[in-house]
Amino acid sequence: VLSGCVRSPVLDEAKRDLAAGDAAGALARLEEALRADPNNRELRAYYLRQRDLLVARETAAAQQALALGQYAQATAAFESALEFDPDNARARAGLQDLDAARRRAERLAEAETLAAKGDARKAEDIARAVLAEDPGNAAARQLLRKLEAQALERRPATDAVRSALSR
């Protein structure tokens, strides 16, 4: 009965760990204490609050890394969040978004290769498919602009050849 009211030394130690930057150690200490005293409401509330803050920090860092195309860092941060909360929907969805972003990047790399080999039509098709999946994809937009610029550069030469042939 008193376990929820008495100040826990484990709670104080966990707070020191957090202040020292050892969030993983603090959470492990709190989990262990909760297993020993599952009815300690103060401990449970503090654990859940700190876990949620840590998971939110990790998923935010992962989202930022993903937006910058830093896939390894994003993966590590999402996985770190899931170590603390294996059921976290945001981190799980983030890993799915990460996989999709990697696939789009691979497809755009293929499109760049096709464009360099002169197959602008296939490169454009891939870039447009990526944009259909991710309308804000800057790399796909940039590739389309590049392909359009190349087409415009070729067009005057084509017009000149037609003009010369019609004479």
**What is the distance between the alpha carbons of residues 162 and 141, in angstroms, rounded to a whole number?**
31
**CA distances, 76 to each of 1, 80, 122 (Å):** 41, 6, 34
pLDDT digits (tens, 9 = 90+) for 4-33: 445 678 888 988 998 898 988 899 999 999
Average pLDDT over residues 142-165: 78
What tens digit of pLDDT does each residue of 91-145 get?
A: 999 999 999 999 999 999 999 999 999 999 999 999 999 999 999 999 999 999 9
For 123-139, b/e burial (b = at least 16 CB within 10 A) is bbebbeebbeeeeebeb
Helix extents (H) in the chain: 9-19, 23-36, 41-67, 71-84, 89-116, 120-133, 138-165
Distance CA 68, CA 77 (A): 14
- C-beta neighbour count of 27 within 10 angstroms: 21
Q: Give me 17's structure tokens.
A: 């760990």
Distances 102 to 51, 82, 99 between C-alpha atoms, Å: 29, 20, 5
Q: Could you give the residue ranges of the DSSP H alpha helices within 20-70?
A: 23-36, 41-67
What's the one-letter identity of residue 95? L
Answer whether 0.85 is exceeded by the pTM. no
Res. 155 pLDDT band, cuts 50 70 90: confident
**Residue carrying the six token digits 């096709």:** 114
